Structure 1
Amino acid sequence: MSKGNQWSSRLGFILASAGAAIGLGAIWKFPYVTGTSGGGAFFALFILFTIFIGLPLLLAEFIIGRHTGKEAISAYKAIAPKSAWVWIGRLGVLSCVVLLSFYSVVGGWVILYTIMSVTMLSGKEYGALFNAVISQPYVVLGAQALFLLITVFVISKGVQKGIERANKYMMPLLFICFIIIVVRSLTLDGAMDGVKFFLKPDFSAITGSSVLYALGQSFFSLCVGLSCMVTYSSYLGKKVSLTRSAGTIAILNLFVSLLAGLAIFPAVFSFGLKPTEGPGLLFVVLPTVFEKMPFGTVFLALFLILFLFATLTSAFSLLEIIVAALTKDDQTKRTRYASLSGILVFVVGIPSALSFGVLKHVSLFGRSIFDVADFFVSNLMLPLGSLAIAIFVTFKMKKEAVYEEFISGSTKGVKLFNAWFFLVKYVLPIIIIAVLLSLLVAY
């Protein structure tokens, strides 16, 4: 692997991985899924799933990737040649195509709102405005194409000059801006009702679907189950501690999810909005909050620009796994395959982009096309991918090789490794299978 196609530092790797995880998962999707799935009780489940399921699986992906130094498909092939295990990587790449196809639609919405924030996004009825914007086919398709064009450009530059450089500047700025919004949201009249909804668990509100969505969200927000982190960790040197890196990324992800909830729900209750608004929640609430702030237009534009970059950092990881699987470390092919992959993702995403406009009356299993794509990846492919990875790393890889990667660059000892290995080998598969079976019963 070429040196330019590796992370230059542990910080660069963590920010890129956190960027992959945080993006839309924590900022856009987490608040509306929490709002529709039980509030505080859902958040409690999400924390438990992230720590005891998502984090161990994130570490498992790191181990596979760094051990082989290869992208997702080649990594499984290197460990288990001439076997069906390579389909974990192939299905991960396929899932990335589907995920990025509807993810880029939302990325397009962010671009539209960023432009509107400095032109016409004031004094509006934001719920009606959002519905009007996403129902215009040429507008949403154009925005989706622009979002993918930016993503393709960065990926074509490679790991250090593209992905890492973009993340180093934008992720810290996003944290700062987010904290400003939280402070403002918490000082609104009636804000405490929103805080109670978000942080005070009412477990009577939990249903089987809520548990499934909490598990899916823990996978989605940490970007596990797609083998995306297999590809990212393949660019990592042996001196970096995988356990510390995985822990840092999980903590950052939970922190941003907390900030997202504290930014959104106090404002939702303060302005008499519904926490069950759905995918448009962020685009309805935040402009309303900023309009009540001094220099609100400036802050809204700044946040949307930074949110756009956080959204892009997640898109980078999704496109990177597709491009890396195609180039197989032949960097002369990177630009060509990045462009072709971007076109493929755009075409696959057209039905999702139009599902709020000309295709809004088309439904599959009682869901819009956009929601079907989301459900397919978040609640089916991510758990199935995670289950396969847990089995692969504990049954197929040599335990000595797994242990060597676990402790490399770390002071963590045998006891922690044994606890992690037992959890991944025996406990997590049972939990994931139980949740998937409950899904089959429910549907």
Structure 2
Amino acid sequence: MNQKKEQWSSKIGFILSSAGAAIGLGAIWKFPYVTGMSGGGAFFLIFVIFTLLIGLPLLISEFIIGRGSGKEAISAYKTLAPNSLWKWVGRLGVLGCFLLLSFYSVVGGWIIIYSGLSIPGKIIGEGINYPDLFNSITSNPFITIGGLALFILINIIVLSFGIQNGIEKANKYMMPILFIFFIVLVIRSITLDGALEGIRFFLYPDFSKITGEAILYALGQSFFSLAVGFSCMVTYSSYLKKDVSLPSSANSVVWMNIFVSLLAGLAIFPVVFAFGLKPTAGPGLLFVVLPTVFSQMPFGHLFLCLFLILFLFATLTSSFSLLEIIVAAFSSNGKHSRRKISWISGFIVFIAGIPSALSFGALKNFHLFSKTVFDAIDYLVSNIMLPIGSFLIALFISYRMEQSIVKQEFFLSNSLSLTWFSIWRVLMKWIIPIIIILVFLNMIGVF
């Protein structure tokens, strides 16, 4: 049987949910500070090129594997390549999503608590020391674990309602609000005195500031930012009807992700330059620098509220996909209900996330390979497991999956020419595996 219990109700629901999976901390938190530290406009241009040449083909590949099998991540590879070791690609994806969600939820909890403590204070006009506030949140074990629990609880509730009534419905509301809030912030940002210098920094490509390391970092960011590599999109596309074009859907998701990256840069860098700050502030840019700046602006409390809600929504829409791949894998046999598996999976992720939540407080002096638990898991997932997963997916769709199925899924419900298919095949078969190897070697410090 190749029948799914649930499907996306519409193409737009699938695209918004897939875009929500891709648009998360990577696009709104990590991308701006990495761009700031890597030269600005030139880095952004290289990132866009690599996203189209690497991220888009990989995303199409995961879509093809998912809908071509009609199964979630683990079963997809077992169905398309029976009696083989390829099923471990799906298992790697589930494990990777589990580990990623365990520390991703810690950051999600920070955002909830940070918003809950700072928004009311701004509304009633209290002065807030944002560096102290952020440090007090991340170092307090009760606050961080409480935030972790609350963030995971929201995910469990949404996923318990299923694909259409849970994930799809949440994304249909949250993603448009995210875009609207972003546009409002961008308008305010670019109308500040001195904003032009920030716009120029972000959009004018000065290649003299680009290093080999920055180019390789843009390579990594290009496929990390699209939620490819852990088969999340395999699971999402397995719920997709046959009357939807996979290349067209992937193209929409990619351009939405690029658009959000553009909005993030336009919302942040004009503000940074208008207030005479440095764009190289690093990871604290969104939690410390920008809230401090907002507090100095007219109606700053309003824009801070919009920003924090936007930040929370982006984090949640990504976490839905991470938990879904786990829930789908363990509920596919039909022995247990989605609701039960959602609660059990969420509880296990919560327990696994506690060491990461304590990494900035009670366990700050405990290290694995000279890293805190939080940083060690982040490094394992982002620098090792994700490139390996992407590499194996490229090999699977190029050399193991039945090519008649690949071709059929690629051309379903579209009128693309054979040339586009040939270009995609060359990229997946030769170019992308080589590039991923280079990124992987750079990430682990070989060069």
Task: Place the TM-score, normalised by the shorter chain, in its bin.
Answer: over 0.9
What does residue range 83-232 of structure 1 map to in structure 2 within 5 Å? Answer: 83-121=84-122, 122-232=126-236
Alignment length (residue pairs):
443
Q: Relative to structure 1, is the Cα distance of residues 291 and 4 closer, same or farther in structure 2, using a 3 angstrom cutoff?
A: farther
Q: CA deviation at 1:199?
A: 2.3
| CA positional deviation for 1:97 | 0.8
1:68 partner letter: S
TM-score by length of 1: 0.94
Number of the residue aligned with 2:387: 383
- Alignment correspondent of 1:75: 76
Distance change >3 Å, CA 281–CA 364, structure 1 → 2: farther
CA contact (8 A) 1:127 1:284 kept: yes
Aligned to 2:28: 27
1:55 corresponds in structure 2 to 56
Moved more, 284-293 or 399-408: 284-293
- Residue of structure 2 aligned with 1:297, choices 292, 301, 321: 301
**Deviation (angstroms), 1:191:** 2.2
Distance in 2 (CA, whole Å) between partners of 1:437 and 1:422 is 22
Deviation at 1:423, TM superposition (A): 1.1
Q: Quote the offset at 1:372 in angstroms.
A: 2.7
The answer for the alignment partner of 1:17 in structure 2 is 18
The Cα shift of 1:141 comes to 1.0
**For residues 113 and 13 of structure 1, do their structure 2 counterparts lie closer, same or farther at Cα, with a shift above 3 Å needed?**
same
Q: Which residue of 2 is the match for residue 317 of structure 1?
A: 321
Give the 3-state SS of the residue equivalent to 1:237 in structure 2.
coil
The aligned residue for residue 270 of structure 2 is 266
Using the size of structure 2 for normalisation, the TM-score is 0.93
- Distance in 2 between the 1:321 and 1:244 partners? 23
Q: Secondary structure at the match of 1:410?
A: coil
Deviation of 1:332 (Å): 4.3
Query: 1:87 & 1:216 partners in 2: Cα distance?
Result: 23
Residues 18 and 236 in structure 2, CA contact (< 8 A), matched pair in contact too: yes
Structure 2: distance between partners of 1:261 and 1:298: 20
Cα distance, 1:81 vs structure 2: 1.2
User: What letter is aligned with 1:79?
Assistant: L
Checking the alignment, whether the CA contact within 8 Å between 2:71 and 2:235 is kept in structure 1 is yes
Opposite residue 72 of structure 1, the aligned amino acid is A
Counterpart position of 1:394: 398
Deviations 1:231-286 (A, max 9, x none): 00000000001011000000000000111111112222223333333332112244
Q: Please, which moves more after superposition, 53-62 or 181-190? A: 181-190
Q: What secondary structure does 1:246 align onto? A: helix
Whether the aligned pair in 2 keeps the contact of 1:65 and 1:71 (CA below 8 Å) is: yes
Equivalent residue number for residue 431 of structure 2: 427
| Matching of residue 418 in structure 1 with residue 422 in structure 2 | yes
> What does residue 237 of structure 2 align with?
233
The one-letter code sitting in structure 2 at the alignment partner of 1:123 is G
Structure 2 residue 325 is matched with structure 1 residue 349: no
* Residues 205 and 398 of structure 1: CA distance in aligned 2, closer, same or farther (over 3 Å): same
Counterpart amino acid of 2:431?
V
Distance 2:287 2:345 in 1: 28
Letter in 2 for 1:136: N
Distance 2:419 2:223 in 1: 26
Bigger mean CA offset, 402-411 vs 202-211:
202-211
Moved more, 40-49 or 163-172: 40-49
Aligned-pair CA distance for 1:364: 4.1
Aligned to 2:261: 257
Which segment drifts farther, 168-177 or 275-284? 275-284
Task: State the identity %.
Answer: 62
Deviates more, 1:424-433 or 1:237-246: 424-433
How far apart, CA to CA, are the structure 2 residues paired with 1:196 and 1:385? Answer: 37
Conservation of the 8 A alpha-carbon contact between 1:4 and 1:159: no
* Secondary structure of the structure 1 residue equivalent to 2:8: coil
* Superposed displacement of residue 392, structure 1: 0.4
CA RMSD of aligned residues (A): 2.0
Contact 1:30 1:257 in 2 (8 A): yes
Decide whether the 8 Å contact of 2:4 with 2:71 is kept in 1: no
In 2, Cα distance between equivalents of 1:193 and 1:132: 34
Question: Which deviations, in whole Å up to 9, do the C-alpha atoms of 1:302-351 show, x marking residues without a partner?
Answer: 44234322211111000000110111162842122211211221222222
For 1:210, give the aligned amino acid: A
Give the Cα–Cα distance (whole angstroms) in 2 for the partners of residues 143 and 206 of structure 1.
38
Q: CA deviation at 1:212?
A: 3.6
Give unmatched runs, 5+ long, in structure 1. none
Deviates most, 25-34 or 46-55: 25-34
Give the distance between the partners of 1:37 and 1:351, measured in 2 at CA.
31
Counterpart of 1:37 in structure 2 is 38
Q: Distance in 2 between matches of 1:281 and 1:289?
A: 10
